[in-house]
A and B are shown apart, each in its own frame.
Chain A
Amino acid sequence: MYDTNLVLGGKEFTSRLIVGTGKYSSLDVMRDAHEASGTEIITVAVRRVSLPSGESILDYIDTKRFTLLPNTAGCYTADEAVRTCYLAREAGLGEMVKLEVIGDQRTLFPDVQGLLEATKTLARDGFIVMPYSNDDPVMARKLQDAGAACVMPLGAPIGSGLGIRNPYNIKIILESVTVPVIVDAGVGTASDAAIAMELGCDGVLMNTAIAGSRDAVAMAKAMKLAVEAGRLAYKAGRIGKKLYATASSPLEGLPDWTS
């Protein structure tokens, strides 16, 4: 079936699954999971180098094949997040950024005010801004207006594995913006990713669901299939929901068994 590509800031991607690099049992497992996921975009954090500097995570990522997506995880103000993006760009990690401005340590919910401010600044400075946001359609539109290349509402708190907690809000967000909608955070297993895609989302971003599973490589493959299955089901157009049965077999032509 024909499908369009995922377009982010003018760059086109075939895969609609974005994966992370955190919390894997080993870097070898991470590399194999990336491969199995079929992903084209991989998120990384930006942190102080350990001195003396040893093995780099980028020894395990083919940067010619994958697009790196540095994040601003751990930033609690717009200023910190913006500076982190500048550092990432200077480090040669590109201009696509996963923008996080965290507002609360326990839930890791975004500080949408700071997020909006940072989005404006970074979009103006030529970044392809992918903001991690709450599932609020009004905020989604504001982020789009501020120059975001997509909006990334959470399905549930980061690392919680609770799935898509408010599919109706995600649906309204899809109707509220024209930029791609990528569910970021909350996915626990394959069906969660499929649900996001069936709703009509343009992609799913996840880390813990794969990296924290017992067999990360197998889960990566499951997520690839789930995203593809959900996307196909969305494009195919599901049937409506009804309370009572509708027979699948014809009601006429039944043999007469009465004596």
Chain B
Amino acid sequence: MTTSIQTAAPMEGARPFVSITISVNGKPMEIAAGTTVEGLLTLLNVKREYTAVAVNRDITPKSTYTAVTLSDGDKVEIVRPMGGG
């Protein structure tokens, strides 16, 4: 017996759902292709204040969060201040 997964037929002209795998703070994560940095932060519910993001070692300025689209294999680092001396 086979199990068929019902998927909605993509709308005319719509992009079919494709997932990519990225690394977020060292952990692998599957997200939809086309996700932006802004989308990722929203997905993860990350506070924006005093937070910074780097993609593949390069700092992503806040002003470009909505413009930068993540690609398969990207390494994302999300940091903020912690206790230290």
Contact = CB atoms under 8 A, between A and B. Distances in A.
Interface of A: 20-24, 30, 43-49, 51-53, 56-58, 68, 70-71, 73, 83, 86-88, 90-93, 158-159, 205-208, 211
Contact of A71 (B26, B60, B77, B85): B85
A47 B79 contact: yes
Contacts of B60: 90
A93 B50 contact: yes
A206 B85 contact: yes
Q: 3 shortest A-B CB distances, which residue pairs?
A: A207-B85, A45-B84, A20-B85
Nearest to B27: A51
Given A48-B25, A52-B45, A91 B82 contact: no
B67 interface: no
Given A45-B83, A49-B78, A57-B83, 7 more contacts: A23-B83, A24-B83, A44-B81, A44-B84, A45-B85, A53-B45, A90-B53
B15 interface: no
Contacts of A51: 24-25, 44, 46
A46 B46 contact: no
B45 A91 contact: no
Residue of B54, B59, B85 most packed against chain A (CB within 10 A): B85
Given A52-B44, A91-B50, A22 B85 contact: yes
Contacts of B77: 48, 87
A20 B85 CA distance: 4
Interface string B57-85: 10111100000000000000111111111
A208 B49 CA distance: 27
A22 B84 CA distance: 4
A92 B49 contact: yes
9 contacts: A21-B84, A46-B81, A48-B78, A49-B46, A49-B79, A53-B46, A87-B77, A158-B85, A211-B85
Given A83-B57, A90-B59, A20 B49 contact: no
A57 B81 contact: yes
B48 to A, nearest CB: 10
Contact of B82 (A45, A86, A158, A206): A45
A71 B83 CA distance: 10
A49 B80 contact: yes
A49 B46 CA distance: 8
Interface in B1-52: 24-26, 44-47, 49-52
Nearest to B26: A48
Contacts of A83: 54, 57, 59
B85 A87 contact: no
Contacts of B59: 83, 86-87, 90
Contacts of B52: 46, 87-88, 90-91
